[in-house]
Amino acid sequence: MNDSASVARWLRVKANREAGWAVLGGVGLLLLGIVGVVLTLGIIYAVVWFGFEWIWPLSFPIRLLISLAIVVLLFVGNATTDREYLQSYSFSVGTASKKAVTFWVPRVGVVSNVNPIAPDSAHSYVKIVTDALYFGPRLVSDSVGLFLKANRLRRLDVDGCSAVIARLLARDRRVSFTELAESLPGIRAEKIFPQLRDLEGILFLSSDPPGMSLGTELRRELTEALAVRRNRI
């Protein structure tokens, strides 16, 4: 049995296993996300109730519709906002030191030298609150991503992917995309390469020349699996 065929047998097992873990993870995140969304809905409903009751009393259905509309907007915002931007903060301090610190003052409590009304500090606080409100929608979104990943793994082109992995295993270094495509003319590179992103341990390297390599753990796992199969033959 050649290495490509052995890799294909190993890959079927690995893809099915990772798809199963993705489904389990997706279910877990979905359940947590639903809890988070319900809690967020309750908080928003309370804010709408107490915020408008003394100005313009609203009926229960209207308060609920407003709250649900805000939750929908949170899902939209979570899908369209860059997480790295949302979780990057900048604070201005009101002391000579440029470092933000917090400390305990007896009979007062925890105090900080952060200037809360500075534009960047106020903006950071808004991002912190927004990030907290995105907690439920983010978990739901991540669960959908895991379900989609599981579906892609089950539809994996095992033959094409195993041919690429076997070539990477034979090289103890990165292999450029160009070299892979030229050395494996029988595969559709534009289809196979993206599928490999769903497999743990396949490293996509963007530095020149861009290409792929096997991670240390994956290389050892695959080498051991192939050795066991050879011993059985």
Domain ranges within the chain, ordered by starting residue: 1-81+134-155, 157-232
Helical spans, DSSP H, in the chain: 3-52, 60-80, 83-86, 119-133, 135-154, 158-170, 177-183, 189-196, 216-232
Q: Taking the complete model, does pTM exceed 0.95, yes or no?
A: no
- Four-way CATH pick for 157-232: 2.30.29.30, 3.40.50.10070, 3.30.70.3460, 1.10.10.10: 1.10.10.10
209, amino acid identity:
P
What pLDDT does residue 104 have?
47
Burial of 86 from C-beta contacts in 10 A (0-12 / 13-18 / 19+): middle
Res. 166: pLDDT tops 50 = yes
Give strand pairing partners of 93: 114
25-43 pLDDT, tens digit per residue, is 999 999 999 999 999 999 9
d(CA 30, CA 102): 36
What pLDDT does residue 120 have?
63
Q: Which two tokens stand for residue 182?
A: 């030229």
Share of the chain above pLDDT 70, in %: 82
Under the banding of pLDDT at 50, 70 and 90, the label for residue 155 is very high
d(CA 176, CA 10): 24
State mean pLDDT over 133-159. 95
Residue carrying the six token digits 């049995």: 1
3, amino acid identity:
D
Exposure letters 92-118 (e unless 16+ CB within 10 A, then b): bbeeeeeebeeeeeeeeeeeebbbeee
